[in-house]
Structure 1
Amino acid sequence: MKPASDKLVAALAERLDGVAEEAIRSVLAEVDLSTKVRPPKRVQLTLRRLRFNGERRGDVRFHPGVNVIRAGNLKGKTTLLHLIQFCLTGSNKLKPDMKKWISEVDLDFDLDGIAYTVHVDRSKRVRGFLDRGSMDATRVTPEQLEFANSTKMEATLESFFSEQFGLEPLAGTQKDSRKDSDRLLVIQTSYGAYFHGLYIDQESGYTQLVTDTFFNNQYMKIVGMLLGLRGLRPYFEAEKHLALTKNAGVKEEAHVRRTEAVRPAGRTLADIEHDLEAATQVVDELRRKRAEVLVHATSSDADRDLARLTDELVAAHDAVLAAQQERADAERARDEDETTVVALKEAIASKHHFSALTPHHCPVCEATIPKARTEARHGMGQCLLCAADVNSKSDQEMLALLHTRLAEAEDSLMGREAALQAAQKAVTAAQQSAEALAQQKQHLQMRLRAVREDNTFDTQIENEMRRIGKLEAERDDALNASSHKTAADGMTALLLKQRVLEALVSHFKTADDVANEQTKARFAARVLDYLRKCGISNIESLVLDAQLKPQMVQNGESINFTTLSSGEKVRFVLAFFFAMAVAPAEDIPTAAHPGLLLIDSPGKEEMVAKDFKGVVDLLRFIEKNHAEQVQAIVATTYQDIRDAAPEHKRLFIENDVDFVFS
């Protein structure tokens, strides 16, 4: 950064009576005045061919002069213009359905007679290249500028076209969009913003001149750059620093009021520092304890304990199941012995000796003997399994045998009862063991969860941090109160800086006034001439004010753009932009408009017959007199506007499904 020149410092000292030159130099050291904006250069941009493929496809050729695309509503006129804008800027304004239908786009264009092609593949994600030569040319040594996503595409195109057109980013300020924010952000005029000087649509182009937000709050920058006005870069740099300084002054003023309010505090700086150090130590100790607890709760030992209890609980459940199975087996055996004892007792009590029991049990092998099967195969009184003769015993022998069998069965039953009781005790013990393990696991899980979710330490730390914040604020106030450079001194420095920057802005605003006023006057005269060509003859004079906004006299009364009727506004905008496009070829050698205008649906329902006639007359004038310097691509639904172009420059969308052109 070069130091400010003595001439500039002297000029500002003259404006700032009583301010020392050294103070002015100190302020200027913070402002970048080392470079001036390079003059834009006139590079003519001419579109040659647009081709796209996918579910929808088309192949359109353009010519110098006025080209008209005519079709009904919702047939794809705007889509073609948005595809051109996409290929030239990377800004994708296609409607969601069209984004799905179009997968590849190619655009051929010339820059001062040198052919270039932009190819974009949108099938999966945006990728493509910018290359010299047309899309049909065989590239022996390609000079591609490739891009692999939409962000890189915008950056590639911005770098290329800004270099070609000699455009530089001009910095300014804009308030932060977040609610209740008082911050100022530094913004820059990008190539995408300059493109608004080439694209006129119904939604924005016709209202941009109405409000102060034309071109996204950058109207003066963009129009001034396209007209080649001098001194823009230093002016906007100074204006940016002035806005930031004013914003800082507002904050500093609030700080001064706060400092004055807290200055009477009686505590010394040493006391505050002592309390601050103690509070910091408390926070450190709390954080250490919390870390220890969390380390234990999340350590591998805790995880191993939990896993061990889980395994033991599974084994305990298996033991319960095994004990329950043993109990069931003992219970089944006890029931069988009990049935046998009951049957034997009944036989003895009813004196049904073996002859009566013959069909049921063999006294030798004790097998069940179905009567029907015994009679059928062996005859009465013979065991089916062991073939013993059951009739060979006397009644006394059979009775003695039954008593013997009964004694044996009762002994067996007693043993079964003892085994069943033992099995029941085993089941109870296994269940108690499983329940104890389940309780241990639950308690461990609850303890670990409680430790991990405990926010007691966090609450204590948060309270201490609030206390630390208050102590730090108290310390800062004490430092401000005890410092030689108080907040009021800082405010004084900001006010001085603001005065110097205001003088600097004023200086740059008038430094190139003579040359700029000549350029503005020539351009205004060109706009006025085009207004008359499109049928607005009652505007007697037109000038551009300090913000480059048009001020007019109509029928003897001073008016601005908002006073015009709807149809007059449409014609005025077209005259204004055509004058910018033609300016470099006429009597404004500093102008740098590339000569391309994309005009979407001029007029629509707000225009009457005389408005349409004025638009057609202006288009025919441009076609007749400036076809070599200007290319206009107009999308319209109206037959009269279509006829403003020669027949070979008329495009008609015959089928909106596949965009076949005739």
Structure 2
Amino acid sequence: MMTQATAAEWIEAIAGKASLPVAVVQEALDRHAVEPQSTLPRRKSLRVRSVTLEGVKEGTAADGPFDQTFTFGPGLWAIVSDENFRGKSTLLNMIQGGIRGDIHERVKPDVWRWLSKAEIVFEANGIGHRVLVTKEAGDPDKDAAATFAREQEGGWFVLYEGTVGKPLERAVEDAMLAEFGFARFHAHNKKDGSHTHGWQVIASALFVNGPGEAVFGELLVDAIPLRLLQMFMGLPWVSTYTAASTALKRLRTTKAERLSPSKGLKDRLQARLGTVEDALAAARGRVRPGPDRGVLRARMLEMDGRLLALRERVEATRRETFRLERQLQGATTVLLDTRRALQQLKDDRAAGVVLRTLRPVCCPSCDTGIDHDRHARATDGSTCALCGTRQTPAEDEDGLRLEELQRDADDVAANVAELRAQATEAQASQRGAEAELSRAIASSRALEAALRTEGSADLELEIRGLEAQREQLLALIAAEEEEAEDEAADAAGAHDEAVLKAAEEVTKDLYDGLAREILADVSKEITQLSRSFGVQNIESMDWGTGGAMRIVQGRAQTSFGKLSPGENLRVRIAAALAVIEVARQRMYGRHPGLLVLDSPGAQEMAPADFAALLSRVHGAIESAGDIQIIVGARAEPALLDVVPCDHVTHAQGERFLF
């Protein structure tokens, strides 16, 4: 059958191989989402426009603010420096992070801290797209604000606005898959089950950052290098074959999981259920009349709460009694002091009255007699009969003080009486609370004793265990019945495995011949490029349809994984250029024409080999005007001689790129 077979011819071929009606085949393919994709794809392009970086450097030999924009166009571009560690890899990682949407993973922590703005603008099929990340300079947090927008009528139409991370990656992935017409890879293996690879894996083939495990791209799992090659070469029917193969593996895995030794399991479960129910009935029959242990436990929980409340109440009454007793003690002391002062004043006042009422008949000093008339005159004249001192009438201050002290004593006595009554009441409340707590504790202990009745606990545990077994058996029986229903429902798809197997074989036949031709061309191109890049003693390199690369080096069989780091890098670059060249020669394919090489001369590459590499790169550029290749490397004459002066960004001497 020809590669350009129509969808109808494809379905008829599957029906014939599976010996099934076309309608049954179509239903099975629809059920597993296997669709024909037979047309040769139209080539599309991806090109970097500019990268803008703003921020403030800290902790370097060139601290301070920076604001730098790097512009690019079609052709060969170089980012070079005279010294290492001048920002080349950072700039290339910015490009990769913007195109893949994972910029937060591509930037070193120190550079991320410096940044306040990173803007990457690129074209997908001539339509501008922009990834813009903003944050505070000096902030190490990865949660920066991000927008992803598409150019529209002279402005930017925002497709995503939020934080960097997985949401931004998904937004970029959805847009790029739609722009380029790429489909996600569906894969299934025993270890990881079914899973999908998207734009992140596809875009990885556009960047060569050094030696790696895979010839093409970054991952070896699920034959991704071969799938990427097939996708970029534009092989028809590859996506259909992948979908059919993945669906077939998934179906077989599901069937294998169901083919467990479960025949007759439902009958065995039913028999076991009968045994458990009989044992449960017997155990329940052995329950002696008495209080329900469930009720006792509920009462025990209730009693625990009551005990807690009673203990809090006892503590509260004790604190109140103590407070009132302290106040009563203080008030009693004040009352005693007040009464003592009142009595003293009364005694002093009584002594003064006694002295003033005495009428001596003689002088206490010389025994000279005193005339009684002299006392009468002294009283009338308000003078002292003894010394003749004039006396002036004054208010009875002692009397006023006496009245005041008497009132204080009465007030304090009333306060003491009130506090004594309150203290007595508090003491009675405390005793009542303590008595109620004691009764509650006794009730709680009685409940505990009832729960500890010998034999009851063991019987209850036995009953609970049998009840749990019964519930589990019922659940297993229900699951078996549900699986039986699923198997009955799957009867409608009984022919699915035959259909998918036929679809896999028919689809592979449709593109296998062309795939072998293309892989032969790619292998030949990789071999020639690798030799010109300085890979020693290479006789042949054969990239087979199974994904493995067989290499003959110095008449010995080897593989890509056994190459030295320098040879590994050269072969990876050769593979990337070979795909572009073969696609150009065949005039179809879906490689977007962007290739970014980071330090290709770093792996002990001789100047002559480096010059040969750049010459082939330049040749690829001249052959197709819509290709863009960006190289980051040390400033070497071989590089500067090939790249146009206006396409070179050069950090000379000790300078940095930004």
TM tier, smaller: 0.5 to 0.7
Equivalent position to 1:328, from 327, 330, 336:
330
Question: How much does 1:194 deviate?
Answer: 0.6
Relative distance call for 1:431 and 1:589 in structure 2 (3 A) is farther
SS at match of 2:232: helix
Task: Read off the aligned partner of 1:615 and give its amino acid letter.
Answer: F
How far apart are the structure 2 equivalents of 1:625 and 1:23? 49
How big is the shift at 1:600? 1.9
Q: In structure 2, how many angstroms separate the alpha carbons of the residues matched to 1:126 and 1:596?
A: 27
Distance 2:217 2:330 in 1: 94
Residue 615 of structure 2 aligns to a residue whose secondary structure is helix
- 2:178 alignment counterpart: 163
Q: SS of the counterpart of 1:526?
A: helix
Q: Deviations over 1:193-231 (max 9, x none)?
A: 1101101112xx522239994277522222210111221
Query: Partners of 2:72 and 2:110 in 1: how far apart?
Result: 26
Give the 3 Å change call, closer, same or farther, for CA 311–537 of structure 1 in structure 2. Answer: closer
**What aligned pairs does 1:17-28 form with structure 2 within 5 A after superposition?**
28=29
Q: Could you report, residue by residue, the CA deviation over 1:146-187 in whole angstroms, capped at 9, with x for unpaired residues?
A: 53344453333223322332212231125676xxxxxx2x32
Please give the alpha-carbon distance, in whole angstroms, between the structure 2 residues aligned to 1:268 and 1:333: 88
Q: What amino acid maps onto 1:41 in structure 2?
A: R
Q: 1:147 aligns with which of 161, 164, 168?
A: 161
**Cα displacement (A) at 1:576:** 0.7
| Counterpart in the other structure of 2:70 | 60
| Of 558-567 and 494-503, the range deviating more from structure 2 | 494-503
Query: What is the aligned partner in structure 2 of residue 227 from structure 1?
Result: 233
Q: Report the residue type matching 2:643 in the other structure.
A: A
Alignment check: 8 A CA contact 1:269 1:479 kept? no
Q: How does 1:476-515 map to 2 (within 5 A)?
A: 498=497, 501-515=500-514
Task: Please give the root-mean-square deviation of Cα atoms over the aligned residues, in Å.
Answer: 5.6
The aligned runs of 1:233-244 (5 Å cut-off) are 233-244=239-250
CA contact (8 A) 1:249 1:495 kept: no
**1:600 maps onto 2:598 in alignment:** yes
Question: Amino acid of the residue matched to residue 33 of structure 2?
Answer: D
Alignment partner of 1:57: what SS?
A: strand
1:378-426 Cα deviation digits (max 9, x unpaired) = 99x99998489xxxxxxxxxxxxxxxx9xxxxxxx9xx99997995564
Tell me how far apart the structure 2 counterparts of residues 264 and 486 of structure 1 sit (CA, whole Å): 20
Taking the aligned partners of 1:639 and 1:361, their CA distance within structure 2 comes to 123
C-alpha spacing 1:122/1:141, structure 2 compared with 1 (3 Å): closer
**Equivalence for 1:199:** 207
Q: Secondary structure at the match of 1:208?
A: coil
Residue type matched to 1:97 in 2? Answer: D
Query: In terms of mean alpha carbon deviation, does 416-425 or 123-132 score higher?
Result: 416-425
Report if aligned partners of 1:106, 1:117 keep a CA contact under 8 Å in 2.
Answer: no
| Corresponding residue number in structure 2 for 1:126 | 145
Kept in 2: contact 1:268–1:478 (CA 8 A): no
Residues 48-103 of structure 1 deviation map (CA, whole Å, 9 limit, x = unaligned): 32112222432112243332222444432222112112222211221223223223
- Looking at structure 2, the residues matched to 466 and 38 of structure 1 have their Cα atoms a distance apart, in angstroms, of 61
CA contact (8 A) 2:279 2:466 kept: no
SS in structure 2 opposite 1:153?
A: helix
| Residue in structure 2 matched with residue 267 of structure 1 by the alignment | 271
What residue in structure 1 maps to residue 371 of structure 2? Answer: none
| Structure 2 residue aligned with 1:396 | none
Alignment of 1:387-466 (within 5 A): 424=420, 426-434=422-430, 466=468
Aligned pair in 2 of structure 1 residues 102, 91: CA closer, same or farther (>3 Å)?
same
Instruction: Please give the alpha-carbon distance, in whole angstroms, between the structure 2 residues aligned to 1:361 and 1:493.
Output: 124
Map of 1:85 onto structure 2: 96
What TM-score, normalized by structure 2, do the two folds share? 0.68
8 A contact 1:40–1:590 mirrored in 2: yes
- Give distance in 2, aligned partners of 1:475 and 1:273: 15
SS of the residue corresponding to residue 586 of structure 2 reads coil
Q: Which shifted more, 87-96 or 634-643? A: 634-643
| Distance in 1 between residues matched to 2:500 and 2:392, nearest whole Å | 133
- Which AA in structure 2 matches 1:475? I
In 1, Cα distance between the equivalents of 2:278 and 2:557?
71
2:148 and 2:172 in contact (8 A); partners too: no
Task: Tell me the amino acid that sits aligned with residue 220 of structure 1.
Answer: L
Cα distance change of structure 1 residues 578 and 365 upon mapping to structure 2, 3 Å threshold: farther
The residue number in structure 2 matching 1:649 is 647
Query: 1:646, 1:443 → 2: CA distance?
Result: 101
- Aligned residue runs from structure 1 range 524-539, under 5 A: 524-536=523-535, 538-539=537-538
SS in 2 for 1:546: coil
Structure 1 match to 2:630: 633
Deviation per residue, 1:541-582 (Å, 9 max, x gap): 332212333223333333321343332222111111111233
* Corresponding letter in the other structure for 2:162: A
Are the counterparts in 1 of residues 201 and 218 from structure 2 also a CA contact under 8 Å?
A: no
- Aligned partner of 1:620 in structure 2 is 615
- Asked whether the equivalents of residues 42 and 590 of structure 2 are also in contact (C-alpha less than 8 Å), the reply is yes
What's the counterpart of residue 47 of structure 1? 48
In the alignment, which residue of structure 1 is the partner of 2:359?
none
2:93 maps to a residue whose letter is H
Q: Residue type matched to 1:57 in 2?
A: D
Q: CA deviation at 1:190?
A: 1.0
Measure, in 1, the Cα distance between the counterparts of 2:269 and 2:604: 72
The 3-state SS of whatever aligns with 2:32 is coil
| Alpha-carbon contact 2:146-2:168 (below 8 Å) kept | yes
In structure 2, how many angstroms separate the alpha carbons of the residues matched to 1:438 and 1:79?
78
2: distance between equivalents of 1:642 and 1:218?
Answer: 32
What residue number does 1:408 align with?
none
Return the alpha-carbon distance in structure 2 between the equivalents of residues 161 and 486 of structure 1: 39
Alpha-carbon distance in 2 for matches of 1:615, 1:60 = 25
With over 3 angstroms needed to count, the CA separation of the structure-2 counterparts of 1:658 and 1:75, relative to structure 1, is closer
Q: Offset of 1:108 from its aligned partner?
A: 3.6
Distance between the aligned counterparts of 2:78 and 2:183, measured in 1? 32
Give the AA of the match of 1:59. T
Structure 2 counterpart SS, 1:218: helix
Quote the sequence identity (%).
Answer: 17
What is the distance in 1 between the residues matched to 2:548 and 2:167? 35
Match of residue 37 from structure 2? 36
Secondary structure of 2:271's partner? coil
- Compute the TM-score of the two structures, normalised by the length of structure 1: 0.67
Structure 1: runs of 5 or more not aligned: 14-18, 134-138, 178-183, 280-288, 345-353, 367-377, 389-404, 406-412, 451-455
* Structure 2 unaligned spans of 5+: 1-6, 57-65, 136-142, 284-293, 355-387, 403-408, 448-456
Q: Report the Cα distance in structure 2 between the residues aligned to 1:362 and 1:236, rounded to whole angstroms.
A: 126
**Alignment-derived partner of residue 351 in structure 1:** none
Indicate if the aligned counterparts of 2:598 and 2:633 stay in contact, CA closer than 8 A. Answer: yes
1:625-660, Cα deviation, whole Å (9 max, x unpaired): 524343221222463564353333322346999744
Q: Tell me the residue number matched to 1:136.
A: none
Residue of structure 2 in register with 1:557 after alignment = 556
Contact map agreement 1:541 1:553 (CA 8 A) in 2: yes
Task: Mark the CA change 1:218 to 1:468 in structure 2 (over 3 Å): closer, same or farther.
Answer: farther
CA contact (8 A) 1:66 1:649 kept: yes
SS across alignment from 1:5: helix
